[in-house]
Structure 1
Amino acid sequence: MLPAYVPNNAAVLLGGGRPIDAGRTLEDARVLGDGKTWRGAAAGTLAGITLALALNGIAPAVVTATGLVLPTFPPAAIVALPLGAILGDTLASFLKRRTGRSRGAAFPGLDQLDFLLGALALTALAATAWFTATFTPGVLAVVLVLTPLFHVTANVVAYRAGLKSEPW
């Protein structure tokens, strides 16, 4: 899941610039808001792709050194995991605006799972055979339980480091 975990963090660190929605509104509220930018989406996706490629590169050495077999990512999954994470987060911003929440407002549950569900959905579509072989029901259960814990922890750390304006 690492290629799906990294994109939103990279988007926060490397984003900025022109908003994806170009300032457009829908029903008197921004479509997405200033927090969703083309640069952030591209940087996040590229960071996830780079990480997936790096993991593929070190997988043989990890097996040799530790005996631990890491999954390797086929090309479709290399792109789908990080792009799906960005798309899931973007869809969540759209839903937040439609429910009257401002940028940075908490939306419990959605905030912790949006990127994960986007990554899983797009990867299931783009690399179906790999997805079903890799994400068994047990693996999916662990990912769905641990991801919110990782997400909350990462956000608190980013908040305390001054990288986020809210701890969720």
Structure 2
Amino acid sequence: MLALVAGALWAMLPAYVPNNVAVLAGGGRPIDGGRHFAGRRLLGDGKTWRGTAFGTLGGLALASLLNLLQPAATGLLGADLPTFPPLAALGLALGAMLGDIGASLLKRRLGRQRGAAVPGLDQLDFVIGALALVALLAPAWTLATFSLERLVVIVVATPLLHVATNAGAYLLGLKSEPW
């Protein structure tokens, strides 16, 4: 069981980190340029070019680091931990950012304000984006890496990790809401 959980979480680390990096490095010009559609902002001020770029770069950097650590971590954990080819790393990191941006677009269409909670969507938007883009960019790697068992672990563990890390960021003053 430990090997299954370790393998699932390891495989998703380059997708887990980008949104956190975006919070730290964000600010600047909003992606939507302040544009509105049907009386509402397309995305809002929270989705910026700088946050998206730095978030993606953070995920790519982490994937590179994990590739270096993989042999030792595999031995230490006794788990089959993947390495990240460039397109897989890009798919996970950029896909996580695009999933979050897509959720923001959906929230604005639903009339939700920036920071408003949408349970389920808030916790899994980046996972869906990451898995979709990595499947497009690196399909063979995706099929070899994400077994049904690993996907179940990801869907169960991610909301728990998301709530815990967001609460921590809120307590540290890095986020204005704890979700």
TM over 0.5: yes
Runs of 4+ in 1 over 3 A off after TM superposition: 63-69
Deviation track 1:52-78 (CA, whole Å, cap 9, x = no partner) reads 000001112334555444210111101
- Residue in 2 that maps onto 1:111: 122
Aligned twin of 2:177: 166
Aligned to 2:155: 144
Residue 19 of structure 1 aligns to a residue whose secondary structure is coil
| Aligned residue in 2 for 1:125 | 136
Task: Give the gaps of 5 or more residues in structure 2.
Answer: 1-11
* Highest RCO, 1 vs 2 (Cα 8 Å, sep ≥ 6): 2
Residue correspondence of structure 1 range 35-46 to structure 2 within 5 A: 35-46=46-57
Given the superposition, is the C-alpha separation of residues 66 and 99 from structure 1 closer, same or farther in structure 2, using an over 3 Å criterion? closer
Give distance in 2, aligned partners of 1:73 and 1:34: 32
Aligned ranges for residues 65-84 of structure 1 at < 5 Å?
Answer: 67-84=78-95
Match status 1:28 vs 2:34: no
- Which of the residues 65, 87, 92 maps onto 2:98? 87
The CA RMSD measured in Å over matched residues stands at 1.1
SS of 2:28's equivalent in the other structure is coil
State the TM-score, normalized to the length of structure 1: 0.97
CA distance in structure 2 between the partners assigned to 1:22 and 1:120 by the alignment: 28
For residues 158 and 87 of structure 2, the distance between their equivalents in structure 1, rounded to whole angstroms, comes to: 22
Query: Does the 8 Å contact 1:84/1:123 carry over to 2?
Result: yes
Q: For residues 20-54 of structure 1, what are the alpha-carbon distances to aligned partners after superposition, in whole Å with 9 as ceiling and x for unaligned?
A: 00000000100000000000000000000000000
Q: 2 CA distance for matches of 1:147 and 1:23?
A: 31
Query: How many residue pairs were aligned?
Result: 168
1:137 Cα deviation from its structure 2 partner: 0.5
Q: Which moved more, 1:107-116 or 1:53-62?
A: 53-62
Distance 1:66 1:31, change over 3 A: closer
Given that 1:35 and 1:103 are in contact with CA atoms closer than 8 Å, whether structure 2 keeps it comes out as yes
DSSP 3-state at the match of 1:118: helix
Supply the distance in 2 between the matched residues of 1:33 and 1:87 (Cα, whole angstroms).
14
